[in-house]
Chain A
């Protein structure tokens, strides 16, 4: 067996050269490309991580915004609810006031209508009573009725204080006669009696004349030049109506 040292040396050099050649033409380009791809992947990873972080930040911002919107919505709802409750309370108070005012007005109206109805009823009752009394009085003989009226007139005139009576006498002593108005025509006999009794109460110079006014219902009125003495039911009824109306408005 022979060992060729030159072949050994050449193969050693050959392999060393091959190592350099493969390093130059194979490993270095491939590793450079692998490194570049890895760097690209790392860059894309970093970019993806950055995008992920940005997305997370945006997500957090959106979530915070949503939370803010929810809080704002809740606050707005709460405020709206409070305003609605306040408005409802105010409307309720206003409605209570309006209802109270309406009730008060209704009560007043009812009371006024009741008073008015009472006045009307009293008037009607007065008219009815006057009508009934007039009918009943119509059944009484004229002489009796006239006697009652003239007695009342005499009592009034007799009861007058002297100065007032003198004033009436002075009025009736002139040229104008004292006119006696009755609700119905008095018989001539009764007229004569009334004339004499009035002259006796006033004075001899008094002229007495008679007239008829059915509106008087009953009784008589003495029409002097400057005064009217009323002894009729018309005046009494008018006084009563005035009293009734005064009571009704006062009540």
Chain B
């Protein structure tokens, strides 16, 4: 019998630390992305070929999307948000491969990403406004909004985590059920839908992270 989709399978231990399947899958994704990045960027020229043009198009499109959201220079956020989007796309679509479980379908991965976004929001907010200025922004527009703003910081991070985890996990769960009940080729349309859902969820997670960071930067207030 297959293990529960809500739990992570432990593959081995490194000392006291248990290494689960999502972690290994993540390492594989990291390896692929790093090697792919290295291979496509080692011979960049001023006169790009088709492959370099596509790569630059992807990077500049991500930058443009970030800039549209945060309304300021997107370069400081490119590494975080661009990596977030690329990793989410890779992770969400990795479920298409036979025998691979998407890491984002596990709660720990989604929580880790949400926690990183949560930390990044405050880091960039403090860096942009200063500690007091950033903390003061929680009391705006009225002091009475302070509890609501603080709670919203937690709840929106929680919603990020649950949304990603729920969508990916549910897709995987349904596909597993259909495979178990109907046969090998029946879940193909569902897998195509899962690809679309994975892309949409990656986009939504990244954009929401950009919105949260942009709000912490206060660019809308300055505008």
Contacts and interface: CB of A to CB of B under 8 A. Distances in A.
Interface stretch (A21-29, A182-190, A230-238): A21-29
Contacts of B37: 21-22, 25-26
Interface in A22-49: 22-23, 25-27, 29-34, 36-37, 40
A18 B37 CA distance: 11
B106 A17 contact: no
Nearest to B29: A18
Contact of A18 (B8, B30, B44, B75): B30
Interface in B1-34: 6-8, 17-20, 22-23, 26-27, 30, 33-34
A40 B46 CA distance: 8
A9 B115 CA distance: 10
Contact of A16 (B19, B27, B38, B116): B116
Contacts of A5: 108
Contact of A15 (B6, B41, B116): B116
A31 B109 CA distance: 29
B58 to A, nearest CB: 9
Among A10, A17, A25, find the residue whose CB has the most chain B CB atoms closer than 10 A. A10
Nearest to B7: A2
Given A21-B30, A21-B34, A33-B46, A7 B23 contact: yes
A1 interface: yes
Given A3-B108, A21-B37, A22-B86, A11 B103 contact: yes
Contacts of A12: 112, 115-116
Contacts of A19: 79-80, 83
Contacts of A139: none
B41 A4 contact: no
Q: Is the interface of A mostly helix, strand, loop or mixed?
A: helix
B13 to A, nearest CB: 9
Interface residues of B, number: 46
Nearest to B80: A19
Nearest to A33: B44
B124 interface: no
A42 to B, nearest CB: 13
Interface size class of A (residues with CB under 8 A): 20 to 34
B75 A1 contact: no
B108 A18 contact: no
A56 B63 CA distance: 38
Given A19-B80, A21-B37, A30 B8 contact: no
Contacts of B44: 29-30, 32-33
Given A11-B103, A15-B113, A22 B82 contact: yes
B33 A4 contact: no
A8 B112 contact: yes
B151 interface: no
A43 B111 CA distance: 47
A22 B20 CA distance: 23
A21 B83 CA distance: 9
B72 interface: no
Contact of A14 (B26, B75, B82, B84): B26
A10 B17 contact: yes
A16 B18 CA distance: 19
Nearest to B34: A21
16 contacts: A1-B7, A3-B107, A5-B108, A7-B22, A7-B23, A11-B22, A11-B103, A16-B116, A18-B26, A18-B33, A18-B34, A19-B79, A21-B34, A23-B83, A30-B41, A33-B56
Interface of B: 6-8, 17-20, 22-23, 26-27, 30, 33-34, 37-38, 41-42, 44-46, 48, 52, 55-56, 59-60, 75, 78-80, 82-84, 86-87, 103, 106-109, 111-113, 115-116
Interface of A: 1-12, 14-23, 25-27, 29-34, 36-37, 40
Given A8-B108, A32-B44, A33-B48, 10 more contacts: A4-B20, A7-B18, A12-B116, A15-B87, A21-B34, A23-B83, A25-B34, A26-B82, A33-B46, A33-B52
